[in-house]
Amino acid sequence: MTPFRFPDPPDGFRWRTFGSGEPLEALTSTRFPALHGFTCRIRNRPPGPHREHWASHLGSRDGSAADLGLLERAAGVQAVHALRQVHGNDVHVVRGARPADPPCGDALVTRIPRTAVAIKAADCVPVLLADPVSGAVGGAHAGWRGTLVRVVEAAAGALAAEAGAPPSRLRAVIGPAIRACCFEVGPEVVSAFRERGHDVERFTLRPRAAGRPHLDLVLANRLQLLAAGLPEPAIEDTALCTRCQPAFHSYRREGPGVGRNWSVVVAGEPIA
């Protein structure tokens, strides 16, 4: 395979190794108040001199069940809950054991300590949420369709309700996603946002006078977090573009057979 390089972490983030027997490296914020990580296409940097020639893959298209087991062992939790994601705005509240078949939806929330929720994405915007007081956490999957129906705003509202927290107390971190540099869309997508009442001009770029528009989906979701009541300093961003960075799975770069990057967050104990 081609030599592989983990991208340099932006300010406030680092690559952290989870687990021991089968270590897993994930990008984490140094400030976010819950155990969490964003994975890429490779599980970890192998030791030794030929490290660039060996790698174990993560996030293959059909490997979700195996991935969830690996994520559970790496995070040291009983269950990592995931969804059958459908680009909608349904939020699933986790209050029990992991079902055999994942429920449909695009956001997950839980306040059960040592329970994790996971979002998978390959260009779509993954957003992780946490309430530092109750320990409750959430995650949302926002491609352009999910952004259009405000899934992140719904997730923040559901987490505030489940945590009994004012939204101003919540924290958010935005994972690797396709950025405005690469997310060219047709004019009908811009129109769809306008018709739904989004202030779409704020997150639409036109790099060339005659070219197709580019959407800044990350900014669109940042605006939804602000609308939900999160203060600006509570929102962190990995600032990495999945299409620009070969370390990440990218639908736009690889097409329909693409794998998925995982975004995982673990609920903690309430602060007494």
Cβ of residue 9: shortest distance to Zn ion, in angstroms?
Answer: 17
Task: Pick out residues in 154-183 that bind Zn ion (CB under 5 A).
Answer: 179, 181-182
DSSP codes of every residue in 165-217: --GGG-EEEE-SB--TTT-B--HHHHHHHHHTT--GGGGEE-SSTTSPPEE-H
Q: What is the 3 state secondary structure string of 82-93?
A: CCECCCCCCEEE
Only segment of 37-45, 79-87, 119-127, 234-242 that touches Zn ion (CB under 5 A): 234-242
Only segment of 24-32, 36-44, 51-59, 244-252 that touches Zn ion (CB under 5 A): 244-252
Tokens of 204: 């639409």
- Rounded Cα gap, residues 125 and 127, in angstroms: 6
The verdict on 97 binding Zn ion (CB under 5 A) reads no
Q: Which is nearer to Zn ion, 67 or 216 (CB)?
A: 216
Neighbours of 96 (CB within 10 A): 10
The verdict on 243 binding Zn ion (CB under 5 A) reads yes
The verdict on 239 binding Zn ion (CB under 5 A) reads no
Among 46, 184, 244, 246, binds Zn ion (CB under 5 A): 244
Is 36 strand, coil or helix? strand
Cβ of residue 218: shortest distance to Zn ion, in angstroms?
Answer: 11
Q: Quick one: 63 exposed, middle or buried, by C-beta within 10 A (0-12, 13-18, 19+)?
A: middle
Among 241, 258, 264, 265, binds Zn ion (CB under 5 A): 241
Task: Pick out residues in 181-200 that bind Zn ion (CB under 5 A).
Answer: 181-182
Q: Which is nearer to Zn ion, 102 or 176 (CB)?
A: 176
Backbone angles phi, psi at 218, to 5 degrees: -65, -45
Q: Which is nearer to Zn ion, 41 or 179 (CB)?
A: 179
Q: In 3D, which of 159, 149, 167, 166 has the Cα closest to residue 221?
A: 149
What is the bridge-based pairing of β-strands 204-205 and 137-142? unpaired
Only segment of 73-81, 112-120, 157-165, 233-241 that touches Zn ion (CB under 5 A): 233-241
Cβ of residue 252: shortest distance to Zn ion, in angstroms?
Answer: 9
Q: Which parts of this chain interact with Zn ion (CB under 5 A)?
A: 179, 181-182, 241, 243-244
